[in-house]
């Protein structure tokens, strides 16, 4: 049970029960891409010579028969069935090869269609897992503009504890992170297939999750400098301090604020935070100092 102070000069405190933290789980496991269908080579169509050579052979044979029979065409009647067979046999082979090529093309077209449908399902699955990972990241590290709503709901107020990996981590922007799901390619993909290129492109598209919070650990950087226009630097620092105050309990984190008198309007709100209360109550009611004199007093108390 912890206490929330209602104001600077108000000693009234409100009980607040900080529940155990429930970590949302990231998408896990592995997604194995389907293997592209094997490309079967079409049988080469019969050469025209396959038809021409038998025709030439039967013509020569018939010519020799006519010469040997002294111009009698009676011998040709015996050669006619052979001639018909000689012509029909290569024609049948050519038609059969043509039908096989058509059947192979239909089979490959059907396999490619099924493969594309399978790829579409895999893409949809990865898109869902990408959205889920981004939502989990935003839940554990929300946008600074959403911190006020967290304070109202109090469901995630002060949820970070010293043993948590994100203790004293502050969000500084957005970037990309590797997808938590492992993407596996087929063991022996057909590299000669154009569909394999689509497979590699799909893996590259989902290797990282974009637009996720990027944070830095203050426990490791020790000190952090921010440069830029004063208004931008002040707004950025405000956001970082608000994150610390919302995510961490004043029992575990204290905030010390020292600022020049000229910037009092930008930083006097720090006195409203319970995190600026001194560890031992005394003359200094808050760990906030305005100007050099107050800064010396606060530092003397701390040091």
- In the numeric block, which tokens belong to residue 89? 């046999």
Pairing of strands 208-217, 169-178: antiparallel
The percentage of the chain sitting over the pLDDT mark of 90, rounded to a whole number, equals: 27
Residues 85, 19: Cα–Cα separation, whole Å? 92
31 pLDDT above the threshold of 70: yes
Measured from the Cβ of residue 207, the count of other Cβ atoms closer than 10 Å reads 11
Tell me which of 45-54, 147-156, 180-189, 261-270 is least confident.
45-54
Tell me which of 2-6, 99-103, 215-219, 256-260 is least confident.
2-6
Q: Which single residue is written with the structure tokens 């039967």? A: 58
pTM of the predicted structure, to 2 decimals: 0.69
Q: If you write DSSP's letter for every residue of 226-288 in order, what string do you get?
A: --S-HHHHHHHHHHHHHHHHHHB-TTT----EEE-GGGHHHHGGGGG-GGGS-SS-SS--SSE
47 pLDDT above the threshold of 60: yes
């Amino acid at each position: 049970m912890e206490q929330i102070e209602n104001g600077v000069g108000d000693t009234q405190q409100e009980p607040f029960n900080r529940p155990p933290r429930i970590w949302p789980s990231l998408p896990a496991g592995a997604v194995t891409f389907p293997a592209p269908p094997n490309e079967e080579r079409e049988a080469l169509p019969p050469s025209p010579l396959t038809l021409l050579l038998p025709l030439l052979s039967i013509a020569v044979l018939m010519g020799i028969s006519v010469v040997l029979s002294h111009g009698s065409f009676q011998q040709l009647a015996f050669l006619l069935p052979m001639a018909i067979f000689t012509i029909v046999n290569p024609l049948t082979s050519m038609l059969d090869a043509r039908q096989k090529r058509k059947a192979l093309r239909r089979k490959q077209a059907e396999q490619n269609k099924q493969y594309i449908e399978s790829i579409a399902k895999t893409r949809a699955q990865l898109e869902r897992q990408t959205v889920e990972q981004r939502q989990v990241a935003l839940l554990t590290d929300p946008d600074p503009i959403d911190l006020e709503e967290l304070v109202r709901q109090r469901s995630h107020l002060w949820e970070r504890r010293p043993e948590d990996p994100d203790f004293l981590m502050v969000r500084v922007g957005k970037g990309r992170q590797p997808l938590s799901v492992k993407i596996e390619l087929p063991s022996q993909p057909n590299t000669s297939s154009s569909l394999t290129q689509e497979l590699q492109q799909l893996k590259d598209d989902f290797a990282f999750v974009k637009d996720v919070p990027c944070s830095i650990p203050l426990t490791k950087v020790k000190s952090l400098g921010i440069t830029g226009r004063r208004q931008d630097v002040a707004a950025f620092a405000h956001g970082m301090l608000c994150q610390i105050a919302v995510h961490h309990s004043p029992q575990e984190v204290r905030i010390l604020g020292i600022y020049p008198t000229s910037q009092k309007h930008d930083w006097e709100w720090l006195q409203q935070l319970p995190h600026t209360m001194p560890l031992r109550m005394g003359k200094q009611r808050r760990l906030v100092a305005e100007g050099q004199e107050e800064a010396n007093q606060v530092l003397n108390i701390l040091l």
